[in-house]
A and B are shown apart, each in its own frame.
Chain A
């Protein structure tokens, strides 16, 4: 603030120059230091350590003197590929994408349902948030109980004449995981969509009314375009959340997991904390990070996260 208060005797030209200097060159960047230091401590240093660990042969035998653990270059990365990492990545990505695709219509529909005022809307909104506020652990435990071979789900299915079978092992476990993830994750899309709906100007609604637009064209051509940015952002965040979800598969299926749900966080966990191959698991984690970062980067470039109009102009 003190910098901006100029002595009156300065010429206009000088002033111009000085102002540009202030805004461009002498911006008080040092104010970013606390955040920067935190970033370094919390993100960059651990990331660097993870990179280093991925290059050394760190296991229970070398853990104690981990600084002296033998450097083995890219061996861990090579071994990752023969340890089923590619399969896990495929499972993780497909599971995450399918879950996101399924939650979007549910989330938007729920947001539309609670957009207009009516009696009990507050209650409906609160109920919609229940899956979101429940801890993942609780969700997984409850679903695990329901999906038992002799559990509630199979009991219901048999009432309508469907043979339930096993949900927590074998190929069906994959669909069980998606089902539970959808159940737990759709309110996130709902929240983002609702927030976007709330930001639609009243004039837009009025203009549509004046033009006599029926509800469906109004929804499709007027309202939904407003949702595009926030919902795409929500999709991105949701997909990343699905990929990183460890609690759900771990509690639902336990470790070792059935092959069909051996998602990335599970394989990294088992390699690290059950096989105690810290080097190998760090390599797996680094590879997963890189592999996720590529589409993420492409995607971010494509959408540019145009949530606000200003964002769109830049």
Chain B
């Protein structure tokens, strides 16, 4: 009986171990042509078929160039990706190349799981010079410690309804936030509103606040100190909420809008400006009533309450937005990984990617060819005038804290008014969690 018991136990244990081993993942083979490069990339739900075709095309080109296969793995959301990074980082195996959003790059950097790029690595992918200099702003904390290779840009701009601006006697889109508010008032009448803003979006609100603060000379983070409790930040929230509560230039329903809902509202043709969008919205806009009657413009770069930027203010037209490519430190195929990065950051591949998916090239030469396109002019300019958000592992928390101020203010916005005290109290909470996060940053 005892021996039977032991045998059974041994059998089951062996089975369990075998099944555990199965979860280990499939790495590329020993050497030569049989290698496989694993690339983790965001799923494209907007153009799934084109995306599959693009992956196939890249695989073919990569195989022709190196003899190795590329295997794409997709993630649906930033959280999926984070989970993947976590498990890979802990286990020391997983994708060789990661496509990581710009604002998430500092967090990824803080895990210390990615290859730092020296001259040798940059040369392998065709040199640092081939990129739009602005896009390198969020590759690492400083020049010596870069991990992110710019892949695509999605700079934020605003879209405006050309007919509505004309009808209101406005000859050019606003360049200061105050001017924007003024123009929005001119256009608001009946069921027409000056601005479309996604107040309930989980990512939009902090971008406004960051932008206005940076333009006023407060980058929100100074070394290890959070600077959220500041009149400039307060003014930014006040302006952002004020469009709805004070100026009443936004549809009251916007309290419940996420970004796609704001796109849809603007596409109906009854809103003057749609704040904070990217070229990926072009298709949605061209399918709406606003078709042929809209243009992109740079977001205002003069802070609220001012007619010109203060001397310490930064001309931030957009957060530095897009994707970086990171090569995993544990990868056994680093050379192949850089070959892949080189391929997808080359001018031709980048332009092709832009045409298929509306993501702007990080490749400087490719971007230059697009700047002559009148529709894209402002977007390429925004790509050049993009400013990186602070490079700290605490940024994720700070971003969350800034968004939370807006989230918790929504009920007040719904009622139609919000007091300075309420805003201040919520900013104080945000300051606290931002500082806690910065204190932990290493």
Contacts and interface: CB of A to CB of B under 8 A. Distances in A.
A241 interface: no
Interface of B is mostly: helix
Interface stretch (B56-64, B252-260, B332-340): B252-260
Interface in A235-266: 254-259
B175 interface: no
Interface in A186-241: none
A106 interface: no
B414 A165 contact: yes
A154 B1 CA distance: 71
Interface in A130-149: 148-149
Interface in B395-409: 396-397, 400, 403-404, 407-408
A269 to B, nearest CB: 9
A166 B400 CA distance: 22
A170 B87 CA distance: 36
Contacts of A61: 110-112, 393, 440-442
A37 B13 contact: yes
A273 B113 contact: no
A41 interface: yes
B415 to A, nearest CB: 8
A149 B252 contact: yes
A37 B404 contact: no
A20 to B, nearest CB: 17
B79 interface: yes
Contacts of A257: 407
Interface of A is mostly: loop
A256 B403 contact: yes
Contacts of A258: 407-408, 410-411
Contacts of A148: 253, 256, 261
A168 B200 contact: yes
A33 to B, nearest CB: 5
A149 B244 CA distance: 14
B423 interface: no
B107 interface: yes
A32 to B, nearest CB: 10
A41 B89 CA distance: 22
Nearest to A274: B400
Interface string A35-73: 001100100000000000000000111011010000000
Interface in B373-423: 393, 396-397, 400, 403-404, 407-408, 410-411, 414
B397 A275 contact: yes
B86 interface: yes
A114 interface: no
Contacts of B90: 63-64, 66
15 contacts: A37-B13, A60-B110, A61-B110, A63-B111, A64-B89, A64-B112, A64-B113, A148-B261, A169-B407, A169-B411, A258-B407, A270-B400, A273-B83, A274-B79, A276-B396
Given A61-B112, A150-B253, 7 more contacts: A34-B12, A59-B440, A61-B442, A149-B414, A170-B410, A274-B397, A274-B400
Q: Which 9 pairs between the two chains have the least Cβ-Cβ distance?
A: A170-B411, A169-B410, A150-B253, A149-B256, A166-B414, A30-B5, A61-B442, A149-B253, A256-B404
